[in-house]
Structure 1
Amino acid sequence: MARWKHIRRKLRRPFETGGFLLIKSLIPLLPRGAVVGLARFAGRIALFFPLREKRIGLKNLDAVFGATKTDAEKRRILASSLATFAQTMLDVFWFSGNPEARIKKYVEFEASPLKDSFFEDKAVICITAHMGSWEIMGQAAALLGADMASIAATVKNQVVDRILIEQRERTGQTIIPQKGALKTLIARFRKKGKAAFVLDQNTEVEDGGIVVDFLGLPMPVSPAPAALAYRTGTEIMLGFCLPEQGGRYRIRVTQSIVPPPFDKERGMDEIVHGLTQQIQDGISAEIRAHPEYWLWSYKHWRRSEGQTYPANYPVY
């Protein structure tokens, strides 16, 4: 069975690569309005089909909002969420065509003291979520002069993975593979570099996750950014890139978390858990403020055998 799966994957790979290259060639040729319109259409039409993403999204919305939002409101949020995700994926390709000019025209950092602090010559652990266009943030920050790196999972298709890395690095950003990133990150922070993490995904306890409150529900997440911040004394900043009218994006730096000084005599677990909870509280606040831009159609909450969960915990 494993051998047959390997063979199928190998046979499928040329078609995956060809499709990817075709989309990469065509999407940058579209006018901005066409990309936005196509994404909005995809979000609206998706609600008329029995898609897995629709089912998961509505279960998540029910779990978080319950009776505080009507079914019609939840469907509108989900349609916008799916449209935002579609636009984010299309923009991976659209912004690859003349990225410097397009980012300068369509992406803006909101002016604030936190934004000014972010661009100072210092190490920063940058935290965001699957909200709006998380893909464009690192590229925009690097284009404005930040020594920026993003942590990314490796795509199995090596050709696609290489092209994606090239696209993400075109404005000066560095892509660090998720596997084995620890030493690279520590060295980067010592040189006053910055690195970004997307931190709203479920990381099972057996894979190193720790359970915190996320949108009012228990969820295991990675403690790695908090542990790195504490061990290296690196400031944590939360930021989000939300869509606006006309296909534009606005990046907001919303919060700064300064870890306590590292103390070998104190246990790390409690401090790291507290920092991780602060991060999740900041992400949760942004999602509640702008639920229409967050990725609801992902299995964020997963049950483990032998554990007790609240009545509104989703069952997928």
Structure 2
Amino acid sequence: MPVDPSELSTWSHVKYYGSNLFLRGLLVCTRLIPYRLRVPLMGRLVTVMGRLAGFDKRVRTNLDLVSPELSEIDPDTLYRDVSNNAGRMIAEIYAGAPFHDRAKAAPITGPGLKALEEARAAGRPVLLATAHFGNYDAARAALFARGFEMGALYRRMANPYFNDHYVAAIKGNGEPLFEQGKRGMVELVRHLKKGGIAAIVTDLHAQGGELIDFFGKPAVTSTVPAELALKFGAAVIPVYAVRQDNGLDFEIVMSTEIPHSDPLTMTKSLSADLEAIVRKHTGQWFWIHRRWKPFVPVSKPGRKANPEAG
């Protein structure tokens, strides 16, 4: 979890400032290149830089963990696909109008769109559950363009210098934004109470979450989205922006609304829905995440650590 900037050491400030200068310089330079060339170029650059950072090893480790589930996938090919998608996403978030135009033109498919329209017509709050897949901001921009104003919960980046302009960039895809934490959660709750729509990513390791299988291995997963939905009567609809073969366009896929039951069952359904679309487009999910980190139990009765969760 990112710490407050005031808690960083002098060395951390120097390191983050230097890396931010490099990244900002790279983004400024690439903006001089036409969008059609800039996006794939950033994909290739991130692929190279990711290898230097050892991210290809992280992908291989995660793939080995879930094998034989995905034993037919070549880890080097998967890394190239994952890092290329990540680089393209970075370029897109900072691109402004060219990205927004493509997102607005993206077709929206799946039964979730009807569920969203019905919830809005009834004044019912909605939680759009997404993940680090494709480019989740494309889904937000596409829905905004069709009149679905929404908030979004985001996690502050560890690098405070990069975080400032990153947040400014994603605001261009719609507001309000709620920073993960006590204050952000209060703001999100207020938004839902008013019948608002909010997007939230559900695929990160969440300390204090529940062990839920993802590709056959237990991963610590937050049940908070489901708990919020049950408390405020919100519809929970999975949504994904699937990158198309040309690498620049998207299809917005909205799955069936998750039925209300209990937090654990609903969260399992969300995880299963994400796994299903990742199986179709394996290289578009961020396999660099430490999704299967070891489980550290918290003081809740009946919850036990699972040694296989690492």
TM over 0.5: yes
Q: Does the alignment pair 1:241 with 2:241?
A: yes
| In 1, Cα distance between equivalents of 2:52 and 2:172 | 38
| In 2, Cα distance between equivalents of 1:117 and 1:22 | 43
Q: Say if 1:151 and 1:195, in contact at 8 Å, map to a contact too.
A: yes
Query: Deviations 1:33-79 (Å, cap 9, x if unpaired)?
Result: 323432453476579x57521111112112223275346x3332222
Could you tell me the percent identity over the aligned residues?
Answer: 17
Q: Does the alignment pair 1:218 with 2:215?
A: no
| In 2, Cα distance between equivalents of 1:67 and 1:113 | 28
1:29 is paired with a residue whose SS is coil
* 2:13 corresponds to which of 6, 10, 14: 10
Compute the displacement of 1:27 (Å).
3.3
1:255 is paired with a residue whose SS is coil
In the comparison of the two structures, how many residue pairs are matched?
291
| In 2, Cα distance between equivalents of 1:123 and 1:244 | 30
| In 2, Cα distance between equivalents of 1:195 and 1:299 | 25
| In 2, Cα distance between equivalents of 1:31 and 1:161 | 25
Aligned pair in 2 of structure 1 residues 255, 182: CA closer, same or farther (>3 Å)? Answer: same
| In 2, Cα distance between equivalents of 1:13 and 1:44 | 21
Aligned pair in 2 of structure 1 residues 135, 11: CA closer, same or farther (>3 Å)? Answer: same
Output the TM-score relative to the length of structure 1. Answer: 0.80
2:77 is paired with a residue whose SS is helix
Q: Say if 1:42 and 1:82, in contact at 8 Å, map to a contact too.
A: no
Compute the displacement of 1:119 (Å).
4.3
Compute the displacement of 1:138 (Å).
2.1
* 2:291 corresponds to which of 272, 297, 300: 300
Q: Say if 1:240 and 1:251, in contact at 8 Å, map to a contact too.
A: yes
Q: Say if 2:43 and 2:86, in contact at 8 Å, map to a contact too.
A: no
Tell me whether 117-126 or 13-22 shows the greater mean CA deviation: 13-22
Output the TM-score relative to the length of structure 2. Answer: 0.82
Look up the match of 1:114: 112
| In 1, Cα distance between equivalents of 2:89 and 2:173 | 18
| In 1, Cα distance between equivalents of 2:7 and 2:126 | 45
Look up the match of 2:301: none
2:260 is paired with a residue whose SS is coil
Compute the displacement of 1:93 (Å).
1.5
CA RMSD of aligned residues (A): 2.9
Q: Say if 1:138 and 1:149, in contact at 8 Å, map to a contact too.
A: no
| In 2, Cα distance between equivalents of 1:295 and 1:179 | 23
Query: Structure 1 stretches (4+) deviating beyond 6 angstroms?
Result: none
Query: Deviations 1:162-189 (Å, cap 9, x if unpaired)?
Result: 3323322224321111112332222211
Look up the match of 2:198: 195
Q: Does the alignment pair 1:103 with 2:100?
A: yes
1:66 is paired with a residue whose SS is coil
Which one has a bigger Cα radius of gyration? 1
Compute the displacement of 1:29 (Å).
3.2
| In 2, Cα distance between equivalents of 1:244 and 1:132 | 9
Compute the displacement of 1:277 (Å).
1.0
Look up the match of 1:286: 277
Q: Say if 1:43 and 1:81, in contact at 8 Å, map to a contact too.
A: no
- Structure 2 gaps of 5+ residues are 1-5, 297-303
Look up the match of 1:89: 90
Look up the match of 2:176: 174
Compute the displacement of 1:105 (Å).
3.0
